[in-house]
Amino acid sequence: MRTLQYIFMTLSALLLATPAFAQGSGDAASIYAPLAAGIGMGIASGLCGIGQGKAIASSSEAVARNPGARPAIFLFLMLGLAFIESLALFTFVIIYLFVK
């Protein structure tokens, strides 16, 4: 418990100290922007992958159960994938436009 307390105290001291380091080399926001871009894009594409995986899994199951409905399922799958993908692409566009 005592160790954990020390660790958190050190971390808070470090977090307080970073603006002081950052002031030396310009704006603080511009230093963290690439980091935020990487983390944000990682979250966006990972969750997009989960969503598309669920969509593809259930659509292939549906085709296996009822092969006659293939064209309709294909159409819904394509539209759904496009909608899911566009959410990750919004993140990409925001990063591309605002992070230099």
Segment lying near another protein (by CB under 8 A), choices 4-12, 20-28, 58-66, 81-89 = 81-89
Q: Using CB under 8 A as the criterion, what x/- string covers residues 34-73 for binding another protein? A: -------------------------------------xx-
* One residue of 62, 96, 98, 99 binding another protein per CB under 8 A: 96
Please, which contacts does 38-43 make with residues 24 or more away whose CB atoms are closer than 8 Å? 40/91, 40/95, 41/91, 41/92, 41/95
86 is a site residue for another protein (CB under 8 A)? yes
Question: CA-to-CA distance for 26 and 14, rounded, in angstroms?
Answer: 19
Tell me the CA end-to-end span of the chain in Å, nearest whole number: 43
* One residue of 57, 78, 99, 100 binding another protein per CB under 8 A: 78
Q: Which residue has the tokens 């994938």?
A: 81
Question: CA-to-CA distance for 46 and 2, rounded, in angstroms?
Answer: 37
Q: Which one, 22 or 76, has the nearer CB to another protein? A: 76
Residue numbers at the binding site for another protein (CB under 8 A): 71-72, 75, 78-79, 82-83, 85-86, 89-90, 92-93, 96
